[in-house]
Structure 1
Amino acid sequence: MEENNKKIVKNTVYLYARMLIMMGISFFTTRIVLEKLGASDYGINNLVAGFVSSFKVLNNILESGTRRFLAYNLGKNDESLIKKTFSTSLTIHIGIGVIIVVILETVGIWFLNHRLNIETDRIWAANIIFQLSVITTLLSIIQTPYVAAVTAHEKFNIYAYMSIYDAIAKLTILFLLVYIPGDKLIIYGTLLAIISITSIIIYCCYCLYQFVECRFSLTIDKNIFNEMMQFSGWSALGNFVVVFNGQGISILLNLFFNTVMNASRGLADTVSFTINQFICGFLVAANPQLIKYYGAGDIKGFTKLIFNVSQYTIFLMAIFCVPVLLEIDYVLKLWLIDVPQYTSAFIKIGAICSIVTYSNSMVDAGIVATGRVKEMNLYAIPIYFINLPLVYIVLKLEWYPPLVYFVGSIPAFIHFVINLKILSNIVKFPAYRYFIQIFLKNFILIIISLIAPFIIHNIMQEGVIRFFCVCIVSIISTITIMYIFSLNKDVKQMINQKIRSIFHQKT
């Protein structure tokens, strides 16, 4: 257990190094891109590219399935079986890529040109972005088994290096975007496509050189195919509904408002995605270990890992989210020249609702590790189908637009509670204790952590001094309260050992 914890920490360090660099670059690039494109074109890019990428949901599910089966079969140390798993996965992904391209080039084109609320003089540019997104989507689908091979082998240093390459390449885009003359939206979309293609080539070349199983043949093993499709099929249906809801909200906002509203949500998603990716480092690093615990029949270690990693992630989320809730308006003024309406509200409400997401993440991963995704998605699919009707009602009644995030968290919370029940049935997981200790207790502690920085926020005038005071007090308050009242003995011991090792190295 101790050795596995060290491996998770080591892998998380790689992931967090990646995220720290990406966070800084992401916020910097977003400001410049918004300035050069304008709010309307920025909204078009988010709307169109997001619409196309939503069709990758099947691909994303099969990635988790590929990663699970590769990690599971790596534990068996059967080279022939691993090769068959990879080849079967790659063949499936190529087939899915072709199907998605056909759908996009027929139904997608029609929807773009006849249903979305895009200015007439920007339709041509939107179609160019659409075609570039289709190309990168197809190639990223084919790339997926290679990325799954990297994570299954726990080569998170490569995963981190590639993400840093991606971030640095996007910095280069800023320079080119400023100096290349022409339609900035089309130039930006073309440069992003070039980066994606080169990243895909690098991933594939590394895997072909490093992992024997990636030297594939386009063959399908029927038994592996059936297992993967049975596992991934139900996950695909459930996650398709989730992604459909996410993009459905963007489309509804576009239909009721315009592309500027999509820009507001796009900026909020940029902040949320960047923070979420940083916080999710433990989740990504822990998943292979979770699968191996279950495969070895170590249910005690399996349960312990779910509790510990959930506490890590919510602890980190609280450290980030408390300052965001109080000072995001000031940060947006510094970050962006013109802040689209509702951007701040989208970010704040999204931060609050993320507590449900992080509480459910490892429970969801636990069910996936057991392979019992059919039962989970039989409940999830009808639950998430209520999301868009609720959002439509909010917008139709002309309520506060960011409330769509709160509405979207209702099915997520119901899904979380049901997942706890399912996992308790499978491995006798202590669902009630998890709900109280991880979700309810941490939610209350985060509210308590807000008190001290909230007082400072109200008594000081807005400015750089208040910003630093609120951030420092909120971090101290959150760490102190969460450390004393939230973290269990195992997590505290691990943090204490890590701190001691750092000081020991310095001395």
Structure 2
Amino acid sequence: MQAINRVIFNTGITYVKTVVTSLIALYSTRLILNALGAEDFGIYNVVGGMIAMLAFLNAAMSTSTQRYISYNLGTANIESVKKIFANSVIVHFVIGILLVIVIELVGIYLINNQLKINPARIDVALYILHFVVASTFITVISVPYDALINAHENMTFLAVVGVVESVLKLLIAFSLFFLTVDKLFVYGFFTMLCTIIIRVIKRIYSKRKYKECHVNLIKEYDIDQIKELNSFAGWSLFGTLCSLARNQGVAVILNLFFATVVNAAYGIANQVNSQLMFFSQTMMSAMRPQIMKSEGSNDRDRMIRLSLTANQFSFYLFTFFALPFFFEMPFILKLWLKNVPEYTVEFCRSIILLTMMNQINMGLMTAVQAIGKIKVYQMVAGGIQLLTIPIGFVFLKLGYQPYSIVLVSFVLETISTVFRIFYFQYLTGYRAVEYFKKVILNSFLSLLPSVLLVYFVRIWLVDGFVGFIVLGIISSISYLLSIYYIGLTYNDKQMLMQIFSSLKNKFVTKM
């Protein structure tokens, strides 16, 4: 129960952080949109949108380093952890330099030759690009420190830092209303500065807290381990960049066919989606170290069980919050933004469907990383993601609606999910048929009754705040009942009873 209790505690702490940061982020976006205007907000999302993806880039790259650190923590070999940390610092410094070169060259070409940006705003768009490059470099070289904190499961510190970062971004948003200089330039600069401050805080904390950070890079240098880390980090980065390329590629394609206002709608939809994903990502951040440590201690059965549980609960947590948002999206956006760019509702709903499919295999990704055989996985899954760009281009060329490119991505994500399931079977021996039955079928059957109920209730409800609250209550209660009676196995229910019993005993003891 000790491992379970730790997962519960870490999840709870991170949920508190998530609620606070999500509320702050949503309000900050409203302020930024009003301060910049739809055109400048669209420019920032198409040129500097990678900043919004840096958290995703950092998490994905951190996971690759965290895999080796957690794996060796599972074997209780501290000296190996030190060597891994030292060599990962070297690896990520090289990766950071390469990314700086690539982003600068590609970004400058696109801004000057391809993107539809007001000529008067080209110079500030280039500055935004440079700010993105600086943020990217600082983020990448800080990955080993993030990985170490996550491997030690220190979610309390991460929660505090997350809240601090959100408050800083809120202050940036407020400051835009009191400035007379170029607001887009100032926003880009201070967002970069915020990224640097947070990374410095994490680095100082790690140096003081963990002895694994106190290493001599020259002494610990190991070319064989660097090759291994390079291979793993490289393929992890490939998968991450495929996701980033898909998301940013969609933004570029939309800009080629439509005005920057459509980019603003797409950017807002991504921000709504990122807030909804926080809840499932929180659970995964708590479970990921346990999955990797299980593989490190040669407990493959426990690793598989945790991975399957992570798949279902990632799906449940995302859809629990996404369901009422999906049906009440027009009201929520109007309440949040006041002036809602055209196509924002459609983009939001399409991206929710895309993410829902992605969440059903989150545990599979972690399991493959824990085992370490990621080359084929990243090549195929990443390649499928990249097909969104050419296929989406064709659909838009044929005159389909802007959000159709996201629906193309949804279909491709479904195909990628099928591949991931069979690759998981290849690595672990866990039958794909069992996965479809126990995870896919159970998850969607749990969701279906609530979707139907909410759909029919929505027809009779009056638009407005009261209708949103009523729908949210009905959605929450019906979905929780569906999950318990349809989605959970007997063992899942027993585990929940153990968790509630443990929490109850702790509460009674404190009383």
TM-score, normalised by the number of residues in structure 1: 0.94
Q: Is the 2:445–2:486 Cα contact (8 Å) retained in structure 1?
A: no
Q: Give deviations 1:153-206, integer Å, cap 9, x for gaps.
A: 111111111111101111222332222322111121122122111111111100
Over residues 211-255 of structure 1, what are the superposed CA-to-partner deviations in whole Å (9 max), with x where a residue is unaligned? 112124343311211211222333333333332222111100011
Letter in 2 for 1:292: K
- Take 2:105 and 2:51, find their aligned partners in 1: how far apart are those partners? 12
The correspondence of residues 22-33 of structure 1 with structure 2, limited to 5 A, is 22-33=21-32
**Shift in Å, 1:63:** 2.4
Match in the other structure for 1:154 = 153
What SS is found at the alignment partner of 1:280? helix
Query: Is the contact between residue 364 and residue 424 of structure 2 (CA under 8 Å) also seen in structure 1?
Result: yes
* C-alpha distance in 1 between matches for 2:195 and 2:383: 35
Q: Check 1:494–1:241 CA distance in 2 against 1; reply closer, same or farther (3 A cut).
A: same
Deviates further, 305-314 or 470-479: 305-314
- Give the % identical residues: 29
Which deviates more, 221-230 or 18-27? 221-230
The one-letter code of the counterpart of 2:12 is V
Whether the 8 Å contact between 1:173 and 1:188 is mirrored in structure 2 is: yes
Structure 2 CA distance for aligned equivalents of residues 317 and 59 of structure 1: 21
Letter in 2 for 1:156: M
Q: How does 1:12-161 map to 2 (within 5 A)?
A: 12-51=11-50, 62-161=61-160
Name stretches of at least 5 consecutive residues in structure 2 with no aligned partner: none
Per-residue CA distance 1:302-330 (angstroms, 9 max, x = gap): 12112222222222222112101211111
Cα distance 1:258–1:438, how it changes in 2: closer, same or farther (>3 A)? Answer: same
Q: Once the 2 structures are TM-superposed, how far is the Cα of residue 59 of structure 1 from its aligned partner?
A: 6.7
CA contact (8 A) 1:423 1:429 kept: yes
Distance between the aligned counterparts of 1:91 and 1:427, measured in 2?
32
Q: Distance in 2 between matches of 1:393 and 1:133?
A: 29
SS of the residue corresponding to residue 342 of structure 2 reads: coil
**Alpha carbons 1:59, 1:96 under 8 Å: kept:** no
**1:355·1:439 contact (CA, 8 Å) conserved in 2?**
no
Amino acid at match of 1:365: T
For 1:374-425, what per-residue CA distance to the aligned partner results, in whole angstroms no more than 9, with x for missing partners?
2313432443342212111111111122121221022222222112112212
> How far apart, CA to CA, are the structure 1 residues paired with 2:435 and 2:391?
29
Q: Structure 1: which 5+ runs fail to align?
A: none
> 1:87·1:218 contact (CA, 8 Å) conserved in 2?
yes
Shift of 1:445: 2.9
**What's 1:370 paired with?**
371
Partner deviation per Cα, 1:403-450 (whole Å, 9 max, x = no partner): 212210222222221121122122211321222222233223323212
2:251 aligned with 1:242, yes or no?
no
Partner residue of 1:344? 345
For residue 430 of structure 1, what is the amino acid of its counterpart? R
2:315 paired residue number = 314
**Matched residues in 2 for 1:73 and 1:116: separation?**
46
Q: Which region of structure 1 is more displaced relative to structure 2, 96-105 or 182-191?
A: 96-105
Shift of 1:60: 5.9
- Mapping of 1:400-479 within 5 angstroms? 400-479=401-480
Partner SS for 1:339: coil
Q: Shift in Å at residue 30 of structure 1?
A: 0.7
CA distance, structure 2, for counterparts of residue 52 and residue 351 of structure 1: 21
TM-score by length of 2: 0.94
List per-residue Cα deviations over 1:83-139 (Å, max 9, x = no partner): 221111111111222222223333322222221111111112212211222111111
1:269-418 superposed matches below 5 A:
269-418=270-419
SS in 2 for 1:129: helix
Q: Aligned residue pairs: how many?
A: 506
Change (3 A) 1:503 1:69: closer
- Greater displacement, 417-426 / 239-248: 239-248
The CA deviation string for residues 20-68 of structure 1, in whole angstroms up to 9 with x for no partner, is 1111111111111100101111111111112577799987654222111
2:189 corresponds to 1:190: yes
Q: In structure 2, what is the Cα distance between the partners aligned to 1:95 and 1:57?
A: 19
Question: Do the aligned partners of 1:54 and 1:247 also contact (CA within 8 Å) in 2?
Answer: no
CA distance in 1, matches of 2:107, 2:11: 38
Residue 41 of structure 1 contacts residue 185 of structure 1 at CA under 8 Å; is this kept in 2? yes
Give the match's secondary structure for 2:48.
helix
Alpha-carbon spacing, 1:167–1:388, altered in 2? closer, same or farther (3 Å): same
8 Å CA contact 2:78–2:212 kept in 1: the answer is yes
